[in-house]
Amino acid sequence: MKKLTFLLIFIFSLLTPTFFIYAADPGASAPGVNNPQGTVKIVNPLGSIDSPQKLIGQIINAVLGIIGSLALVMFIYGGFTWMMASGKAEAVTKGKNIIIWATIGLIIIFSSYALVKFVLTNIGALKT
């Protein structure tokens, strides 16, 4: 039983890369009548991103989006802390400080986004 399992795993591991190569492009086919050379076209997994500048620009935009979402979470947390203070001065101050620092962080995020967009647009990585 162990030999049969090992044999099946071995055969599957040999054939699996072939399945993925030919499945990468629906227009590609195995060597044969329609494709005598057996050429295989591999589809770009990044889509329309064809330069390092575009890739870096997309990564920076994604990171800035995540950081902006974290700033929103901090606003909600600061507001919740302030609302649940029950009149305690230190809890109210803590909630206000969280909101103030989240605002400062959001200003930094927006300015960094504007700077990155300006730089990437001028080097030709982004098309506006």
Q: Which residue has tokens 């802390």?
A: 81
pLDDT in tens, 13-50: 665 555 454 444 455 545 555 555 666 666 767 777 77
pLDDT at 117 over 50: yes
In this prediction, residue 49 carries a pLDDT of 75
pLDDT in tens, 57-101: 778 878 888 888 888 899 999 999 999 998 899 999 999 999 999
Q: How far is CA 35 from CA 21, 26, 74, in A?
A: 15, 13, 58
Q: Where are the domains of the chain?
A: 1-43, 52-122
